[in-house]
Amino acid sequence: MVVPLISPSILSADFARLGEEIRAIDEAGADWIHVDVMDGHFVPNITIGPGVVKALRPHTAKPFDVHLMIAPVDPYLEAFAEAGADIITVHPESGPHVHRTVQAIKALGKQAGISLNPATPAKMLDYLIDEIDLVLVMSVNPGFGGQSFIASQLRKIEAVRKMIDKSGRDIRLEVDGGVDRATAGDCVSAGADVLVAGTATFRGGPGQYARNIAALKGMG
């Protein structure tokens, strides 16, 4: 069975101690750092901007997995790239020309991801699969942490895995939303190889982070 990469969402971290929290999850075995950027327009919540990403960048060498839930997204790509994002993931609905958005991310020297909301079909990837480095399947409606996993998304994960395998390209398949010890195995069985986990990673405080991450990997 695939041992997934774990990308803890700092949305569930203690925002008063973000630098310390990032160092703690790095030491606890996080593979990536997932940064949820929300604008209060594309999704019903407001989180952080590129200034915070830049401030956090010196605290870890792990890849910054930046998920932009903002619209329009194109005007902000360069700022997040310069702030230290390694992977920039966008939604097809966040601008009029998502193929152009992907090209812009690649031109900035970053990996490009596409995120699919629960009602967005896998078919949306048909003409993007040859350009992207990551697909993020949202297993909750984006906007808030701590939501319950939407089981219908397992079929989408399976469908995306088939598309990736058929493409022959090295594309990561990430899942975000309600991922915990109970649902992580189902996601991996369906084809995911990266799991975003906020609540499940940060539960119990820093002393528990290593145990929480090991559990998500199916090793604890």
Using one digit for the tens of pLDDT, what is the confidence trace for 46-99? 999 999 999 999 999 999 999 999 999 999 999 999 999 999 999 999 999 999
Contact 43, 142 (CB under 8 A): yes
Report residue 220 CA to chain centroid gap: 22
Q: What is the band of 145 on the pLDDT scale with cuts at 50, 70, 90?
A: confident
**All domains of the chain in start order, with CATH:** 5-216 (3.20.20.70)
pLDDT value of residue 28: 98
Which helix (H) or strand (E) is 176 found in, with range? strand 172-176
pLDDT value of residue 26: 98
pLDDT value of residue 33: 98
185 is in an annotated binding site: no
pLDDT value of residue 220: 62
144 is in an annotated binding site: yes
pLDDT value of residue 158: 98
Contact 140, 187 (CB under 8 A): no
176 is in an annotated binding site: yes
Contact 25, 213 (CB under 8 A): yes
Phi, psi of 210 (to 5 degrees): -65, -40
177 is in an annotated binding site: yes
When computed from its CA atoms, the radius of gyration of the chain, rounded to whole angstroms, is 16
Q: What is the band of 144 on the pLDDT scale with cuts at 50, 70, 90?
A: confident
34 is in an annotated binding site: yes
Q: What's the mean pLDDT in 169-182?
A: 96
64 is in an annotated binding site: no
Alpha helices in the chain (DSSP H): 18-27, 50-56, 77-83, 98-107, 153-167, 181-190, 199-202, 209-216
**DSSP single-letter state for residue 54:** H
At residue 123, does pLDDT exceed 70?
A: yes
List the one residue out of 42, 18, 22 whose CA is nearest residue 143.
42
List the one residue out of 144, 86, 152 whose CA is nearest residue 122.
152
Tens digit of each residue's pLDDT (9 = 90 or more) over 189-214: 999 999 999 999 999 999 999 999 99
Catalytic residues: 36, 176
26 is in an annotated binding site: no
Sheet holding 87-90, edge to edge: 5-8, 194-197, 172-176, 134-138, 111-116, 87-90, 64-69, 33-38
Q: What's the mean pLDDT in 143-153?
A: 87
Contact 180, 187 (CB under 8 A): no
pLDDT value of residue 143: 80
Report residue 132 CA to chain centroid gap: 14
Mean pLDDT of the residues in the chain: 96
Share of the chain above pLDDT 90, in %: 95
At residue 146, does pLDDT exceed 80?
A: no
Cis, peptide link before residue 72, omega less than 30° from 0: yes
